[in-house]
């Protein structure tokens, strides 16, 4: 038995429970979790935005040490430090063969998978196939990426989602170049990672936007040149900071209709607006045909930062080792398993960035 943070039904508070992980198969690894980031996608699992099966073990962004491997596993072994990959591509579907593993058919739409039982025998499901808010997890070997020794194991958990998503949106999806202006709306872990990515790309100015004035210090530490509180006339403020034109790139890391329109309206003619945040299925964003023609902007989304973790985690880890990527700037709270509910409350009020869960923090 191991301890895990589970939710019994939509809208119910998280609780700590004992569970028996699924049996280790020939191609599986058992990972002892070092740390797990609390992501907005975890909250989306229980507030109705996404529809997983319950009871649900929360968490998908994590790092740890391999404790055991199945008989058929090669390439990793007990004692290896790894980052968990919640979007483990099959490598055989049409999208994977086109070089787009972030669109893998085997991963698309998967919010949870069966992954063990509670002490009373009730089947539980793992969030995004991982269920990382647990002392140990069992998952396929291709769902872990080896981690160099020079990267702190706890902070490396952020490479599993926030950094791949935000940094990847800047580098892989939008292809931001040195000297281009960048707007980032929404400064949670993903948004701040986009700011870090823009800084490393040599972008400027980098304009960071949030509803909370407390995010200013975090934004500037991550590399933003300007911080602006969200407001109805945001586009006008952005144009004033970008030669009257608007930003070359805008990244909406919220996913709400109002923020998508703000991002779109803040981009120059011929610029690019990238939607990174995940919104609700019933919300709508409207555009008129004339503006689509006149502004010649590109509107696109970025799923998982168009990242291939097997390729991108080592590249990001190298930047951490070189001192070019400071993961610590993303972490505002270190919590134990009983504090996940409080972390979700902070998301709702827009305070803090990433909460990092470790069982030793209990």
Q: What confidence tens digit (pLDDT) does each residue in 197-219 have?
A: 999 999 999 999 999 998 999 99
pTM of the full structure: 0.94
Reported confidence tier of residue 191, pLDDT bands at 50, 70, 90: very high
Classify residue 296 as left (phi > 0), alpha (psi -120 to 50) or beta. left
Structural domains of the chain ordered from first start: 2-160+326-361 (3.90.180.10), 165-303 (3.40.50.720)
Distance CA 299, CA 246 (A): 15
Mean pLDDT of 310-339: 94
Q: What is the pLDDT of residue 279?
A: 85
Reported confidence tier of residue 328, pLDDT bands at 50, 70, 90: very high
Mean pLDDT estimate for the chain: 94
Statement: residue 282 has pLDDT above 90: no
Q: Is 252 helix (H, G, I), strand (E, B) or coil?
A: strand
Statement: residue 7 has pLDDT above 50: yes
Greater pLDDT, 159 or 41: 159
Q: What confidence tens digit (pLDDT) does each residue in 40-72 have?
A: 889 989 888 888 999 999 999 999 999 999 999
Statement: residue 19 has pLDDT above 70: yes
Q: What is the pLDDT of residue 361?
A: 46
Distance CA 354, CA 346 (A): 10
The tokens for 8 are 């019994």
Which whole-number Å values give the CA distances from 65 to 33, 36, 116, 307, in the listed order? 7, 13, 20, 23
Give the list of residues 6+ apart from residue 274 with CB closer than 8 angstroms, or none: 169, 173, 174, 249, 250, 251, 252, 300, 301, 302
Distance CA 228, CA 185 (A): 9
Q: What confidence tens digit (pLDDT) does each residue in 217-243 have?
A: 999 999 999 999 999 899 999 999 999
DSSP string, 72-125: T--S--TT-EEEE-TT---S-SHHHHTT-GGG-TTTTT--EEEEEEETTS-EEE
Q: What is the Cβ-side half-sphere exposure of residue 100, based on CA atoms within 13 angstroms?
A: 10
Q: How are strands ordered across the β-sheet holding 206-210?
A: 226-229, 206-210, 182-185, 247-252, 267-275, 298-301
Q: What is the Cβ-side half-sphere exposure of residue 287, based on CA atoms within 13 angstroms?
A: 17
Q: What is the pLDDT of residue 252?
A: 98
Q: What is the pLDDT of residue 218?
A: 94
Q: What phi, psi does 206 have (nearest 5°)?
A: -115, 110
Q: Are 102 and 87 in contact (CB under 8 A)?
A: yes
Determine the Cα angle at 329 with ends 323 and 335, to 5°.
125
Q: What confidence tens digit (pLDDT) does each residue in 84-135 have?
A: 999 999 999 999 999 999 999 999 888 999 989 998 999 999 999 999 999 9
Classify residue 269 as left (phi > 0), alpha (psi -120 to 50) or beta. beta
Q: What is the pLDDT of residue 5?
A: 96
Reported confidence tier of residue 359, pLDDT bands at 50, 70, 90: confident
Torsion of CA 354, 357, 361, 362, to 10 degrees: 120
Reported confidence tier of residue 362, pLDDT bands at 50, 70, 90: very low
Q: What phi, psi does 323 have (nearest 5°)?
A: 85, 10
């Amino acid at each position: 038995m191991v301890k895990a943070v589970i939710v019994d039904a939509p809208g119910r508070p998280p609780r700590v429970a004992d569970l028996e992980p699924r049996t280790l198969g020939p191609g599986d690894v058992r990972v002892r979790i070092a740390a797990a980031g609390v992501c907005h996608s975890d909250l989306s699992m229980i507030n109705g935005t996404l529809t997983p099966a319950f009871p649900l073990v929360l968490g998908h962004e994590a790092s740890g040490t391999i404790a055991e491997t199945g008989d058929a596993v090669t390439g990793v072994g007990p004692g290896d430090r790894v980052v968990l990959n919640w979007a483990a591509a099959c490598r055989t579907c049409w999208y994977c063969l086109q070089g787009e593993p972030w669109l893998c058919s085997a991963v698309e739409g998967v919010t949870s998978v069966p992954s063990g039982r509670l002490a009373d025998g009730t089947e539980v499901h793992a969030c995004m196939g991982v269920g990382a808010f647990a002392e140990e997890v069992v998952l396929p070997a291709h769902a872990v990426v080896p981690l160099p020794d020079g990267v702190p194991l706890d902070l490396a958990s952020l490479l599993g989602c926030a950094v791949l998503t935000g940094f990847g949106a800047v580098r892989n999806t939008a292809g931001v170049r040195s000297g281009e202006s960048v707007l980032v709306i929404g400064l949670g872990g993903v948004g701040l990672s986009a700011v870090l990515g823009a800084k490393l790309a040599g972008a400027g100015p980098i304009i960071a936007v949030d509803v909370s004035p407390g995010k200013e210090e975090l934004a500037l530490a991550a590399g933003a040149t300007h911080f602006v509180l969200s407001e109805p006339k945001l586009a006008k403020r952005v144009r004033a900071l970008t030669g009257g034109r608007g930003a070359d790139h805008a990244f909406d890391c919220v996913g709400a209709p109002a923020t998508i329109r703000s991002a779109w309206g803040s981009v120059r003619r011929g610029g690019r607006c990238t939607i990174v945040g995940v919104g609700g299925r019933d919300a709508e964003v409207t555009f008129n045909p004339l503006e689509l023609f006149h502004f010649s902007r590109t509107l696109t989304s970025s799923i998982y930062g168009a990242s291939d973790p097997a390729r991108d985690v080592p590249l990001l880890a190298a930047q951490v080792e070189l001192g070019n990527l400071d993961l610590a700037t993303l972490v505002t709270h270190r919590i134990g398993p009983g504090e996940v509910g409080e972390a979700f409350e902070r998301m709702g009020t827009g305070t803090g960035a990433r909460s990092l869960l470790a069982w030793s923090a209990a």
